[in-house]
Structure 1
Amino acid sequence: MTKTNLITGFLGSGKTTTILHLLANKNPDEKWAVLVNEFGEVGIDGALLADSGALLKEIPGGCMCCVNGLPMQVGLNTLLRQGKPDRLLIEPTGLGHPKQILDMLTAAVYEPWIDLRATLCLLDPRQLLDAQYSENDNFRDQLTAADVIIANKEDKADDRSRAALTQWCETHLEGRELRFASRGAIDGALLDLPRSGRQVPASAAHQHGQNLERGLGALSLPAHQRWRRSLNSGQGYQACGWIFDSDTQFDTIGLLEWVRLAPVDRVKGVLRIPEGLVRINRQGNDFHIETQSVAPPDSRIELISATETDWNALQSSLLTLRLTMPD
Structure 2
Amino acid sequence: MTKTNLITGFLGSGKTTTILHLLANKPSNEKWAVLVNEFGEVGIDGALLADSGALLKEIAGGCMCCVNGLPMQVGLNTLLRQAKPDRLLIEPTGLGHPKQILDMLTAEVYQPWIDLKATLCLLDARQLLDERAVNNDNFRDQLAAADIIVANKNDRATDESRRALADWQQQHAAGREIIQAEKGKIDVALLDNLRQNLRELPGSAEHSHSHAARRGLAALSLPAHQRWRRSINSGQGYVACGWIFDADTVFDTVGILEWARLAPVGRVKGVLRIAEGLVRINRQGDDLHIETQSVAPPDSRIELINSEETDWNSLQSTLLKLRLSL
Instruction: Report TM bin, short chain.
Output: over 0.9
Q: Does the alignment pair 1:135 with 2:135?
A: yes
Select between 210-219 and 3-12 the one with higher mean Cα deviation: 210-219
Cα deviation digits, residues 18-39 of structure 1 (max 9, x gap): 0000000000100000000000
| Superposed displacement of residue 83, structure 1 | 0.4
| Superposed displacement of residue 103, structure 1 | 0.3
Is the contact made by 1:59 and 1:71 (CA closer than 8 Å) also made in structure 2? yes
**Match for residue 287 of structure 1?**
288
Helix, strand or coil at the partner of 1:206: coil
Cα distance in 2 for residues equivalent to 1:116 and 1:62: 24
Q: Does the alignment pair 1:56 with 2:61?
A: no
Q: What aligned pairs does 1:122-271 form with structure 2 within 5 A after superposition?
A: 122-196=122-196, 197-209=198-210, 213-216=214-217, 218-271=219-272
| % identity of equivalent residues | 78
Cα distance in 2 for residues equivalent to 1:27 and 1:218: 33
| Superposed displacement of residue 162, structure 1 | 0.3
Cα distance in 2 for residues equivalent to 1:157 and 1:87: 32
Is the contact made by 1:34 and 1:56 (CA closer than 8 Å) also made in structure 2? yes
**Match for residue 107 of structure 1?**
107
| Superposed displacement of residue 174, structure 1 | 3.1
User: Which residue identity lines up with residue 166 of structure 2 in the other structure?
Assistant: T
- Structure 2: tracts of 5 or more residues without a match: none
Cα distance in 2 for residues equivalent to 1:308 and 1:211: 15
| Superposed displacement of residue 217, structure 1 | 5.6
| Superposed displacement of residue 215, structure 1 | 2.9
Is the contact made by 2:60 and 2:216 (CA closer than 8 Å) also made in structure 1? no
Is the contact made by 1:71 and 1:216 (CA closer than 8 Å) also made in structure 2? no
TM (norm. structure 2) is 0.98
Cα deviation digits, residues 215-251 of structure 1 (max 9, x gap): 3365211111111111100000001100111111111
Aligned residues: 325
| Superposed displacement of residue 15, structure 1 | 0.1
User: Which residue identity lines up with residue 288 of structure 2 in the other structure?
Assistant: F
Is the contact made by 1:75 and 1:216 (CA closer than 8 Å) also made in structure 2? no
- Structure 1: tracts of 5 or more residues without a match: none
| Superposed displacement of residue 213, structure 1 | 4.3
**Match for residue 309 of structure 2?**
308
User: Which residue identity lines up with residue 172 of structure 2 in the other structure?
Assistant: H
**Match for residue 34 of structure 2?**
34
TM (norm. structure 1) is 0.97
Cα distance in 1 for residues equivalent to 2:289 and 2:184: 13
